[in-house]
Amino acid sequence: MQGVIDYTHGISAVDSLLLRPLQSAVHVVVEQGRAAIIDTAASHCVPRVLDALAAKGVPPEHVDWIVLTHIHLDHAGGAGEFMRRCPNARLTVHPLGARHMVDPAKLIDGTIGVYGEAETRRMYGDILPVPAERIETAQDGGSIRLAGRELSFYDAPGHARHHVVVRDSASGHIFAGDAFGLSYRELDVDGRQFAFPTTTPVHFDPPALHRSVDRMLALEPKAIYVMHFGRVDQPQRMAADLHRLIDEHVRIALEHRQAGAGRHQRLKDGLQSLVLAEARRQGWRLSPERLLAVFREDFEVNAQGLGVWLDTQRA
């Protein structure tokens, strides 16, 4: 099926086509005909993922788990629809996120705050609640089993307080949600991959994010899967870039802290300069126009996240 990337160990990425191709990956793990789905994209992406599983011989009844790394709607918006379509699935989510899956009203309001009402409705459509009795909280150090294969949870705040990363015992790989940044495949150069932090409102916490990156590295994964987009297999080098770029985000935020009404635009401009500088540093081959288009939504969302962080620093 087009838009499905099969990796090793029964792990695949299904391109959700949420915003554009190669922007949001829904990962699936298949073990002995049973499946776990890791992060969901939006409700309208659910049929694509179920079609991809059907092509692997896995019917919706054999989806055992919907695993959420965190509850930002690009990760969790389709969860209720998956639960409706997969009658035997249970859902795992960070303890701080569980009640928002049962009653998504606040989550929807928060997303409208970031993207505006029209864009939120266009991107996410219907967001269905998840029945409380089908939710299991993903406690730090806890785990679930998919046909005997263990998936373990590690608290990973910094991008969001309600964030866990998931380690797969069979491969030793990690599903990192947004905690290992963005890694768009368009930026790859001769097989080298790159990461860039994502600081979506409202929980950006630089020291916590540094620690979460180090916590993942300490597990010595050979590969990490990020929602945006897919598998990366050079975690050590990418983590060094992430640490440096998290610090650059903080520097940009502090530089424009006093900018008043113009602050948001200054933050966006600062992030744009950071991406262009990174392109020169890393030898990214996209034209500046194409590069700025790839990161366009990230400039907006990262700048908002830095603004919220600055406001909390002042309090």
72 touches Zn ion (CB under 5 A): yes
Query: Near Zn ion by CB under 5 A, which window of 41-49, 66-74, 89-97, 267-275?
Result: 66-74
Listed ranges 195-203, 255-263, 277-285, 290-298: which one lies at the site for Zn ion (CB under 5 A)? 195-203
39 binds Zn ion (CB under 5 A): no
Shortest Cβ distance from residue 69 to Zn ion (Å)? 8
241 binds Zn ion (CB under 5 A): no
> Phi and psi (nearest 5°) for 234?
-130, 55
Cα 65 from Cα 60, distance rounded (Å): 11
Minimum gap (Å) between residue 178 Cβ and Zn ion: 4
CB closer to Zn ion out of 178 and 298:
178
Helices (H), strands (E): how many in the chain?
11, 13
- Which SS3 state, helix, strand or coil, does residue 117 take? helix
26 closest CA partner among 108, 34, 18, 124: 18
- Let me know if 234 is exposed, middle or buried by CB neighbors in 10 A (0-12, 13-18, 19+): middle
Is 155 near Zn ion (CB under 5 A)?
no
CB-nearer residue toward Zn ion: 181 or 221: 181
CB of 58 to Zn ion, least distance (A): 27
The residues in 165-184 that bind Zn ion, with binding defined as CB under 5 A, are 178
Nearer to Zn ion, 160 or 310 (CB): 160
Shortest Cβ distance from residue 315 to Zn ion (Å)? 23
Least distance to Zn ion, CB of residue 73, Å: 9
CA-CA-CA-CA torsion sign (186, 223, 70, 80): positive
Q: 124-141 b/e with 16+ CB inside 10 Å = b?
A: beebbebeeeebeebeee
Compute CA 55 distance to the chain's CA centroid, rounded to the nearest angstrom. 25
Chain residues binding Zn ion by CB under 5 A are 72, 178, 200
